[in-house]
Amino acid sequence: MADIKSVGVIGAGQMGNGIAHVLALAEYDVVLSDVSADALTRAVDTIRTNMVRQVSRGKIDEATMDTALGRIVTSQDMAVVGQTDLVIESATERETIKQAIFEDVQPHLKPTTILTSNTSSISITRLASRTDRPERFMGFHFMNPVPVMPLVELIRGIATDQPTFDACQTVVDKLGKTSASAEDFPAFIVNRILMPMINEAVYTLYEGVGNVESIDSAMKLGANHPMGPLQLADFIGLDTCLAIMNVLHDGLADTKYRPCPLLTKYVEAGWLGRKSQRGFYDYRGDVPVPTR
């Protein structure tokens, strides 16, 4: 089984910086990469801010934080990323972008490097088939926010070999997280169950059964959910929710996965949730205000 000591993380957004954060704390050397130099700067600042918060809460000490931050280097050079033992792609949830990333990094990979994707819904088998190492390719799906959520979905493609799975399982264990082994079907486990619930909540809004506040309050107080489905959708990103629903609808050919037209409309408007300051709630003031 491969002895993984260094990890390349491609994509320095919300997921990518969280993945780099937990890897560094688990004593892995991390190369964080992104097409945007500004994104890399923001990512390191975010990681530092989040670790300072952990120090203030007594989760880690300052020495641990300083050592972990010292393990993270940033680079826009795929040749640097390719020399790591494990690569985790964490770019936006669009298959063409992910394929382009794998094509860019592939010529620089060591023969032993394991390739993985943090995709939340896209076929691992199909992504792997476009690389030179489908047997050393699998899904490595973290939950958001990465430093807080204890689950990682491990998804085998049809060609993924056992040593690759075992090596990734060892990484999950070292991170102190719990893995769920999922088969390579659209949206895997968590999003196969979660996204249709969110989509149904949007239909409930679309059809006038309830407004944003009543739907979220009903699910928090009536089903004991920590966050209402529309609030959660805003947190995830409405574009991501729509992309996953489209993967489910296209991949399973079942009308029950048809994305709600209202979800599509919000995305077309650029109202993507928290990251754009507007979604099912408006976040531009001191307190989030429902938009419907």
**Catalytic sites, residue numbers:** 120, 141, 153, 191
- Give, as one character, the DSSP assignment of residue 257: G
Say which residue the tokens 């408006």 belong to: 282
Residue 240 φ then ψ, to 5°:
-70, -45
Q: Which helix (H) or strand (E) holds 205?
A: helix 190-206
Q: Which amino acid is at 48?
A: R
E strands present in 1-92: 6-10, 29-33, 72-74, 86-89
CB atoms closer than 10 angstroms to residue 132: 12
Q: Which helix (H) or strand (E) holds 140?
A: strand 137-142
Instruction: List the one residue out of 262, 276, 187, 199 whose CA is nearest residue 230.
Output: 199
- The span from the CA of 12 to the CA of 54, in Å, is 20
Say which residue the tokens 């009308």 belong to: 255
- The structure tokens listed for 242 are 């729509």
Contact between 4 and 169 (Cβ < 8 Å)? no
Contact between 292 and 234 (Cβ < 8 Å)? no
